[in-house]
C-alpha cells in the first residue's frame, strides 16, 4: 500500500498571504487578530477578528478573477489553491486528469454576502449575480470550472472539522485506487452570519483569544484558506515531498449540538483512531497542533482527552491565537502549519497562555524553538461533536 504524501501546500490567513509569510509570522509569534476594518458589521470595534487585510476587489484584481458571481470565499480559496498547485508543480494534464480529485470544504460558502442572500432568499428583487454562489459547493465548483478539473469533486461541511475531513477523504480516495492524486483543503471568509451565530452562542471573546489559559473567554473568528496536494509516494519520486499523511480518524462525541462532553470521548477516539491508522504508539507524537479555540469547553475537554490518551501529552499549542478560528479552513490551515513543524523541525509559541488551566496544569509551547520531530498530530473538533485528528510524518 503506497504511502500518501504531500507534494504542494498553499495558505492565506491573517498572518500572511503565502506559506513563507505564514511561517515567518509563526516564528515571530505574530498575531494577526485585530479590529474589523473591511467587513461592515456592528461588531467592528467590539470584538477582534483574524481578518485578511485585502479587500475583495483587490483579490479579484490580483488573481485576475472577475467571473460573474465570484465571492470572497472563492477568491481566498483560489489564492491558496494556486499556490499549492504551483508548489507541487502539477502539470495542466495532471490537474485536468480524470484521476485527479478536488476535495474542499467550507461552512460559509457565499453566505458572506448577507444582504444579497437576504434579498434573493426573500425574492425582494429580480435576483443578484450570486444566485448560484451561496452554497458551500460553489467554491469547489468555481475551482473545478476555472481549472477544468475532470476528476471527482466533493465538498464537505462538518463545521469546524470540515477541511480535516476533506483531507482524510482525499487520502482515502487515493488509497482506494479511485484517483491517483487529490487536491484537498478548505476555506472560509468572515461573514455576518457566522459572527452573529457564534455571538448568539456567547462563545466569542471581546479580547484576543487565549487558548489553554485559565482565564480564557472564548474564540476569535478568522478567515483564510489552505490547500494541499496529495499523491502516492511512487508518483512523487522526482518531487519534493513535505510529509506523509500517516494517520487520520473521525469520531463523534455525541453529547450536545454545540459543546463537547466532559470526558471528551469524541476527541479521545479521534486521536486514538489516528494513531491506530498510523500504526504508532502515543509516545511517538512529538507535537500536537491543538484545536484550541480558547472556549471554556473545548480547551478543557481537549486537555482532558490529551491526558487520557497520552498520560503525559507531548508539546502542543494552538495557532488560533495567531489567526483566529477559521472554521471550514481550520483543518487545512493547521495541517499546513503541522507540515511546517515537521519539515522545519520547529514549533511555534502558543500565544497568550499566561496561566495554565488549573485542573490540568498543561502548558502549551511558550516560545519558538527548534525541535526534532517525526510525527505531528493536528486536531479539529466541530459542532455536533464532529472530531477529526490527522497525523503527518516525516519521510
List contacts with another protein (CB under 8 A): 41-43, 107, 111, 114, 117-118, 120-123, 126-127, 131-132, 134-138, 140-141, 144-145, 149-150, 152-159, 165, 169, 172-173, 176, 178, 192-193, 195-197, 199-202, 250-259, 265-266, 269, 382-386
Q: How many CB atoms lie within 10 A of CB 392?
A: 30
Q: How far is CA 54 from CA 98, 139, 153, 264, 330, in A?
A: 35, 19, 28, 38, 19
Q: 112, 209, 291, 353: which is the annotated catalytic residue?
A: 291
Residue linked to cell 526534532: 372
Q: Catalytic residue at 291?
A: yes
Q: 136, 160, 209, 249: which is the annotated catalytic residue?
A: 160
Q: Catalytic residue at 256?
A: no
- Minimum CB separation of residue 213 from another protein in Å reads 18
Q: 325, 353, 375, 387: which is the annotated catalytic residue?
A: 325
Please identify, using beta-carbon distances, which residue of 26 and 221 lies nearer to another protein. 221
Q: How far is CA 174 from CA 26, 126, 245, in A?
A: 31, 44, 12
Please identify, using beta-carbon distances, which residue of 157 and 318 lies nearer to another protein. 157
Helix axes 265-278, 296-310, angle to 10 degrees: 40
Picking from 50, 51, 52, 48, the residue whose alpha carbon sits closest to that of residue 62 is 52
- Minimum CB separation of residue 226 from another protein in Å reads 19
Kindly provide the b/e burial profile for residues 111-124, where b requires at least 16 CB atoms within 10 angstroms of the residue's own CB.
Answer: bbbbebbebbeeee
- Minimum CB separation of residue 372 from another protein in Å reads 32
Q: Catalytic residue at 387?
A: no
Please identify, using beta-carbon distances, which residue of 357 and 362 lies nearer to another protein. 357
Could you tell me which residues are beta bridge partners of residue 364? none
Please identify, using beta-carbon distances, which residue of 253 and 299 lies nearer to another protein. 253
- Minimum CB separation of residue 247 from another protein in Å reads 14
- Minimum CB separation of residue 295 from another protein in Å reads 12
Helix (H, G, I), strand (E, B) or coil at 160: strand
Q: How many CB atoms lie within 10 A of CB 348?
A: 25
| Separation CA 274–CA 248 (nearest Å) | 4
Please identify, using beta-carbon distances, which residue of 141 and 219 lies nearer to another protein. 141
| Separation CA 192–CA 373 (nearest Å) | 40
| Separation CA 191–CA 73 (nearest Å) | 10
Q: Which residues are catalytic?
A: 160, 291, 325
Amino acid at each position: 500500500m503506497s504511502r500518501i504524501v504531500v507534494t504542494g501546500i498553499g495558505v492565506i490567513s491573517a498572518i500572511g498571504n503565502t506559506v513563507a509569510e505564514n511561517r515567518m509570522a509563526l516564528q515571530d509569534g505574530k498575531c494577526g487578530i485585530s479590529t474589523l476594518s473591511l467587513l461592515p458589521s456592528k461588531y467592528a470595534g467590539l470584538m477582534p477578528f483574524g481578518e485578511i487585510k485585502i479587500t475583495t476587489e483587490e483579490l479579484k484584481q490580483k488573481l485576475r478573477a472577475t467571473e460573474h458571481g465570484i465571492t470572497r470565499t472563492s477568491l481566498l480559496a483560489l489564492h491558496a489553491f494556486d499556490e499549492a498547485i504551483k508548489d507541487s508543480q502539477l502539470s495542466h494534464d495532471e490537474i485536468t486528469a480524470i484521476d485527479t480529485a478536488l476535495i474542499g470544504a467550507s461552512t460559509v460558502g457565499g453566505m458572506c454576502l448577507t444582504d444579497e442572500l437576504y434579498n434573493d432568499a426573500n425574492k425582494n428583487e429580480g435576483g443578484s449575480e450570486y444566485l448560484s454562489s451561496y452554497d458551500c459547493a460553489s467554491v469547489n465548483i468555481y475551482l473545478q470550472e476555472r481549472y477544468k478539473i475532470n476528476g471527482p469533486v466533493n465538498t464537505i461541511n462538518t463545521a469546524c472539522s470540515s477541511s480535516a475531513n476533506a483531507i482524510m477523504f482525499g487520502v482515502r480516495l487515493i488509497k482506494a485506487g479511485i484517483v491517483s492524486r487529490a487536491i484537498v483543503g478548505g476555506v472560509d471568509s468572515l461573514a455576518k452570519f457566522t459572527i452573529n451565530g457564534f455571538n448568539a452562542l456567547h462563545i466569542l471573546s471581546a479580547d484576543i483569544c487565549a487558548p489553554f489559559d485559565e482565564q480564557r473567554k472564548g474564540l476569535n473568528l478568522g478567515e483564510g484558506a489552505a490547500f494541499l496536494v496529495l499523491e502516492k509516494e511512487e508518483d512523487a519520486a522526482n518531487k519534493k515531498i513535505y510529509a506523509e499523511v500517516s494517520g487520520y480518524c473521525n469520531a463523534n462525541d455525541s453529547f450536545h449540538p454545540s459543546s463537547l462532553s466532559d470526558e471528551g470521548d469524541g476527541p479521545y477516539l479521534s486521536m486514538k483512531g489516528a494513531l491506530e491508522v498510523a500504526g504508532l504508539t502515543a509516545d511517538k507524537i512529538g507535537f500536537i497542533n491543538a484545536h484550541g479555540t480558547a472556549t471554556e469547553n473545548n480547551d478543557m475537554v481537549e486537555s482532558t482527552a490529551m491526558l487520557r490518551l497520552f498520560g503525559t501529552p507531548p508539546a502542543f499549542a494552538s495557532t488560533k491565537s495567531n489567526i483566529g478560528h477559521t472554521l471550514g479552513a481550520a483543518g487545512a490551515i493547521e495541517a499546513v502549519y503541522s507540515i511546517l513543524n515537521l519539515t522545519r523541525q520547529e514549533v511555534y509559541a502558543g500565544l497568550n497562555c499566561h496561566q495554565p488551566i488549573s485542573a490540568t496544569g498543561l502548558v502549551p509551547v511558550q516560545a519558538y524553538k527548534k525541535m526534532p520531530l517525526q510525527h505531528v498530530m493536528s486536531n479539529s473538533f466541530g459542532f455536533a461533536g464532529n472530531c477529526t485528528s490527522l497525523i503527518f510524518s516525516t519521510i
